Amino acid sequence: MSDQGSQDERRSIALVDRLLQVEERVHGLVRENLNLQRDLASGQSHRSSSGAAFDVPRTAHEWPLADDASLLPEDLDLYDRRCDDDVVLAGRNGAQFLALFNLLGAEPDYSGAIAAIRSAEPLLRLSTAVRARGKPDVSIVIPAYGQLAYTLNCIHSLITHRSRYSAEILIIDDASPDRSGELLPRLQCVRYHRQKANGGFIQSCNTGGELAAGRFVVLLNNDTRVSSGWLDMLIGSFDLWPEAGLVGSKMHYADGSLQEAGGIVWRDGSAWNYGRNDDPNRPQYSYARQVDYVSACSVALPTRLWRDVSGFDPHFRPAYCEDVDLAFRLRSRGREVWFQPQSRIVHYEGKTSGTNTATGVKSYQIINTKKLYLRWRESLARHNRFGEAAYFERERSVLKRILVIDATTPTPDQDAGSVQTFMALQACISLGYKAQFVPADNWLYQPKYTGALQAIGVDCAFAPYEVGFENYIRRYGWLFDVILAYRVGVVEKVLPLIKIHAPQAPVMFHLADLHYLRMERAAQVSGDDEMRYAASLMKERELSVVNQADCTISHSSVERDILAAEAPHARTALWPLMFEHFGTKAAFSGRRDLCFLGGYMHSPNVDAVVYFVNSIFPLIRAQQPGIRFIIAGAHPSEEVRALAAPDVIIAGQVADLQDLFDRCRVFVCPLRVGAGAKGKIASALSYGIPVVSTHLGVEGTEITHDKHVLIAEDPGDFAAAVLRVYRSSALWRRLSKAGQELVRERFSLQMGKAALAHAIETALGHKLGLDGGAEPEAGGK
């Protein structure tokens, strides 16, 4: 056999081995999934007569990255990923730094650690009062008393931390008895301040707050190490919640286990670190929520607010309960206290004050608990007794709950439908609901997408902690006030289970578009009789679901009117597309090219770009040599990739739409088939790029020809419209301005919020049997 033949044979054998390994892993995952569903079904926690005893039973699951120190994130299978994998890496980095310089040993190399920090190029954008031209975004205040090893470890984690915010690091040395006063001033990356005498934690924090130059004060214990994304998520949360007065991090032990996911204060003034010593990756610990307090070893406040309330109250000197008292004082001023689990730290607990409450500073924990109770006993009277109903006490501000169901976790950077699901969840939260999201099919935890929902306060269900919709709704169904479900296939599957396990909750069916209408139109274009028959079957299914739902939501006024004719007894509501207004600063003269955006697992988008390249673009190219067409979006199919040419660019998924839209001059939407309102057009308008579309592209919306966009059907007319916008700066500016105004006025989250409130009222009215009846006459019974 030739050498080439031997190589081919070896490659074939290796490929077969790899395929066998993959098949074995798939079978293993299937077995794990079935076992999880069995375990969850056998360990159901049902509502007691009062509901007070309800909690989710603890279940033991592997944490691969934490359990095996040799594993790296890239080694993990999809179902081996966990919410808090990043904190495991932070713990490893801390252990490596401490060991490298023997900082916890008998002869620590402090000078070596100092030299390593001094020589490192900071990843964090540092700004000290001496060097800064302007004020930093954040002042990170680190109170320290001794424990130089941990202080150096903390500083090392900060200078190697990436953030979009600039920061200064303030070390407030509380007259440390070790070499801190000698060595820490050598670090140019910090502002060092030494107290004249030891005054305790509260005094050090208050001194740091007085010295802070940033817009935000972050209090960070010296015995901590920050994890990836810590500062961005901590400070970025104030943009999410305008009424937030304080935001705090999720705290872990060095091995990754949970130290605190927000705090609970009981009626007697005693406090719990919620979730202590449990698996931190469990869903109930992993979404942002309002809490009683967050321990002050990693919290952020606006500097002005910190000074308005005069920081920590010296009444609790030297330490303990000051963080709880601060949270109560902030709430008394109408501000909110938030736990943000996407901001994570390792906390080497008790390194300064120890853990024994019988002696030393730690003894003040008991004394100050009594002081706290005395001050806040009237507010605490509304809290439960110690240890009672922790599941509900962890989020005592929750008054109503909505369950949102889709096939899988939304991926907003891949498809416009996911953008609407994401913003619908935001609208639910803005209406005062606690939003819980559950996938009907794919229970995979996806760090990027599940994490994005958790960061805004959505309680997400995911494997291995929750698997199977029937298990989920059996356990939690009685909690929900309203249920919102997407996709006809999903609703068909979940509706019977909802009727059994959540009979009290009205069900809203979110109709992204009428599938049967899209199929009918595709059949009309293609002349496919089988497609026409499939459309008729889909019509029966969709109308059946519409008639069963308490309210059906549509984005399109055209489809709402179709439903009024086809299902006259159904309850419907119109919900506008929702988009954030991004705007643009890119001028007409600095732009070129045309673009289209869509997901290419959706056949109407494939048809649109093929039609444009074959029938419209040649007419444009002939009159505007050098112009290019950029086809952007996730999952380009073989048919789409085959369109590639020197002037037809297949860009694939775009990480930042601003980069795409700001370099292009015209967005084209040559849709010939499809249904529903088209998110891609509103998205383009939100970035200020003018649009040329077919009538189908703007169907059912308030978008008007020659006011917000140009509309054309025939290839020649479409090409002429594109060139008209492309060549006229005046027309371009007029359309850009009008499109942005439309997004702000009609496609905003506020408009969506109002529409959702109406839809919920409609659904609830039907559930209560109040729709369709006449109003009682005045004076009647």
pLDDT, tens only, 538-584: 899 999 999 999 999 988 888 888 899 999 999 999 888 888 888 99
Residues 155 and 286 placed together within one structural domain of the fold: yes
How many Å apart are CA 562 and CA 261, to the nearest integer? 48
Whether the link from the prior residue into 464 is cis, omega within 30° of 0, is yes
The predicted pLDDT at position 47 comes to: 45
Residues 614 and 564 placed together within one structural domain of the fold: no
Give φ, ψ of 485 to 5 degrees.
Answer: -125, 145
Pure H helices in 554-710: 557-566, 603-611, 617-623, 638-641, 657-661, 679-686
Q: Are strands 594-597 and 572-574 parallel, antiparallel or unpaired?
A: unpaired
Residues 110 and 203 placed together within one structural domain of the fold: yes
| 617: its two tokens | 């673009």
Angle at 152 between CA 285 and CA 217, to 5 degrees: 55
495 three-state secondary structure: helix
H/E stretch holding 518? helix 515-526
Asked if residue 727 has pLDDT above 90, the reply is: yes
Residues 554 and 654 placed together within one structural domain of the fold: no
Identify the bridge partners of residue 224 per DSSP, sorted by sequence position: 347
Residues 299 and 206 placed together within one structural domain of the fold: yes
B/e letters for 22-46, b = 16+ CB within 10 Å, e = fewer, are eeeeeeeeeebbeebbeebeeeeee
Contact partners, residue 729, CB within 8 Å, separation at least 6? 588, 589
Residues 284 and 337 placed together within one structural domain of the fold: yes
Task: Give the range among 150-154, 233-237, 494-498, 569-573 with minimum mean pLDDT.
Answer: 569-573
Give a yes or no: residue 537 inside a domain.
yes
Overall number of domains in the chain: 3
- CA 363 to chain CA centroid, nearest Å: 40
Length of the chain: 781
Question: DSSP secondary-structure letter at 397?
Answer: T
Give a yes or no: residue 37 inside a domain.
no
Residues 631 and 696 placed together within one structural domain of the fold: yes
The pLDDT tens digits of the residues spanning 282-298 come to 999 999 999 999 999 99
E strand spans, 30-165: 125-126, 138-144
Q: Which residue type, as a one-letter code, is found at position 115?
A: A
**Whether the Cβ atoms of residue 743 and residue 682 lie closer than 8 Å to each other:** yes
Q: Closest Cα to residue 290, out of 434, 430, 389, 477? A: 434
Task: Give the range among 414-418, 427-431, 703-707 with minimum mean pLDDT.
Answer: 414-418
Residues 561 and 419 placed together within one structural domain of the fold: yes
The predicted pLDDT at position 358 comes to: 46
Residues 302 and 279 placed together within one structural domain of the fold: yes
H/E stretch holding 715? helix 715-727
Give a yes or no: residue 368 inside a domain.
yes
| 249: its two tokens | 């991090």
Residues 370 and 424 placed together within one structural domain of the fold: no
The residue among 515 and 71 whose pLDDT is bigger is 71
Note down the domain range covering 606.
588-747
- CA 749 to chain CA centroid, nearest Å: 16
The pLDDT tens digits of the residues spanning 216-267 come to 999 999 999 999 999 999 999 999 999 999 999 999 999 999 999 999 999 9
> Given 517, 543, 574, which residue is the final one in a domain?
574
* Biggest distance spanned by C-alpha atoms of the chain: 102
The pLDDT tens digits of the residues spanning 661-679 come to 999 999 999 998 877 667 8
Pure H helices in 176-272: 180-183, 201-211, 230-240
Q: Terminal CA-to-CA distance of the chain, rounded, Å? A: 98
H/E stretch holding 648? strand 648-652
The pLDDT tens digits of the residues spanning 53-68 come to 577 777 789 999 999 9
**Whether the Cβ atoms of residue 749 and residue 581 lie closer than 8 Å to each other:** no
What is the pTM for the complete model shown?
Answer: 0.84
Give a yes or no: residue 708 inside a domain.
yes
- Compute how many other C-beta atoms are within 10 angstroms of the C-beta atom of residue 294: 28
**Whether the Cβ atoms of residue 546 and residue 553 lie closer than 8 Å to each other:** no
Give a yes or no: residue 669 inside a domain.
yes
| 37: its two tokens | 């569903």
Number of DSSP helices (H) and strands (E) in the chain, helices first: 27, 26
Give a yes or no: residue 56 inside a domain.
no
Pure H helices in 409-461: 416-430, 447-456
Q: What's 329's domain CATH number? A: 3.90.550.10
Q: What's 605's domain CATH number? A: 3.40.50.2000
Asked if residue 376 has pLDDT above 70, the reply is: yes
Give a yes or no: residue 241 inside a domain.
yes
Residues 552 and 607 placed together within one structural domain of the fold: no
| 89: its two tokens | 């890496």
Residues 370 and 414 placed together within one structural domain of the fold: no
Give a yes or no: residue 754 inside a domain.
no
